[in-house]
Amino acid sequence: MALRQITASLLVALRTGFKTDFQRGIDKVEPTYLRFSTKVNSTTKIETYGWLGDFPRFRKWVGAKVIKRMKEKAYRLINDDYEVTRGIKKRDIEDDNLGLWGPQIEGWGEEAQALPDRLAYDALANGHQAECYDGQNFFDDEHPMAGATASNISAAGGSQPWYLLVTGKSLKPILIQEREKPHFHMVTSMEDSRVFETGEYLAGGEARYGAGYTYWQLAYRSTQTLNAENYEAAVAAIMAYTDDEGEPLELRPDLLVVGRSNRVAAKRLFDAQLVDAGESNIYYKDVEYLVSQRLP
């Protein structure tokens, strides 16, 4: 079989086909991070957010207005670069030996679409050791609240962590910052120096994202056994949060996020209509739950 001649038009056609494969992979994946994350479009390498010390709430207007200003301590979130790069051998193009490249690049698209999911679930997993806007770790037992401190973490017990979240507000607990959507690129210049040196045309995908946190009051982390008693304790903690003036925030948790080890416990707690000796399960469908394989 004669060698296929590499031309500029052939390389452009390959790039177009591979880009279609990449997009096909993106279209196959349905990420879940938006269920508990707020996505913002970023316009610079580092975004700086000013946060109020508490949720914005109306108060009775008596006398002069009380003007609340942003906290001096700002929350900064950096966008990180992500990439996948491979070299396509010049000889494989000449020999028309590209059969597996289409499916492989489609897989890159799947990974690209799943990237924000990874970042959001990793942010949850690392929230007990990563700062949020008030200078404390996102999951911490010393958050300033109404002149005292409050906790959104239960570190007792030896179970794998589970997370109870409030997602019905305009802001959700996890912040995903998108600077550059995932996109595919392939070198198509036959004069590229790397092609001359290595005999490879580079192809790959790039993206830029940052992941962080909004209000700590919207999330609770526990390593207690996932059962009715400990779930109720987490609900009670969230419902007890107040603003800086001591007014209840009236938060209602509506989503539980668990990993592999707590999947069965979540199903037992929220999917079973009957418990024990046939009694009604008062927690049946009390909240939705998500199972992430990125969490233990």
* 52 has pLDDT over 60: no
Indicate the pLDDT class of residue 1, thresholds 50, 70 and 90. Answer: low
Q: State the pLDDT at residue 194.
A: 86
Q: State the pLDDT at residue 3.
A: 80
* 134 has pLDDT over 60: yes
3-state class of 115 per DSSP? helix
Q: State the pLDDT at residue 68.
A: 60
Give the pLDDT mean for 20-45. 96
Q: State the pLDDT at residue 96.
A: 84
* 10 has pLDDT over 70: yes
Give the pLDDT mean for 59-83. 75
193-204 confidence digits (pLDDT tens): 888 899 999 999
Cα 20 to chain center, whole Å? 26
- The CA-based angle 165-166-169, given to 5 degrees, is 150
Q: State the pLDDT at residue 66.
A: 62
* 8 has pLDDT over 60: yes
3-state class of 27 per DSSP? helix
Indicate the pLDDT class of residue 57, thresholds 50, 70 and 90. Answer: low
Q: State the pLDDT at residue 75.
A: 87
144-190 confidence digits (pLDDT tens): 998 899 999 999 888 999 999 999 999 999 999 999 999 999 999 98
Q: State the pLDDT at residue 100.
A: 87
Indicate the pLDDT class of residue 278, thresholds 50, 70 and 90. Answer: confident
As a whole number of angstroms, the distance between CA 288 and CA 189 comes to 51
Give long-range contacts, CB 8 A cutoff, 24+ apart: 71-74: 71/133, 73/133, 73/134, 73/135, 74/48, 74/49, 74/50, 74/133
Summary mean pLDDT of the chain: 92
Give the pLDDT mean for 42-69. 74
Q: State the pLDDT at residue 53.
A: 55
Indicate the pLDDT class of residue 284, thresholds 50, 70 and 90. Answer: very high
As a whole number of angstroms, the distance between CA 296 and CA 292 comes to 8
As a whole number of angstroms, the distance between CA 259 and CA 67 comes to 43
Residue where the block lists tokens 């509506």: 254
Q: What is each CA distance from 295 to 55, 102, 117, in whole angstroms?
A: 29, 31, 12
As a whole number of angstroms, the distance between CA 112 and CA 106 comes to 10
215-231 confidence digits (pLDDT tens): 999 999 999 999 999 99
Residue of higher predicted confidence among 245 and 284: 284
83-130 confidence digits (pLDDT tens): 999 999 999 888 888 888 999 999 999 999 999 999 999 999 999 999
CB distance 286 to 270 below 8 Å: yes
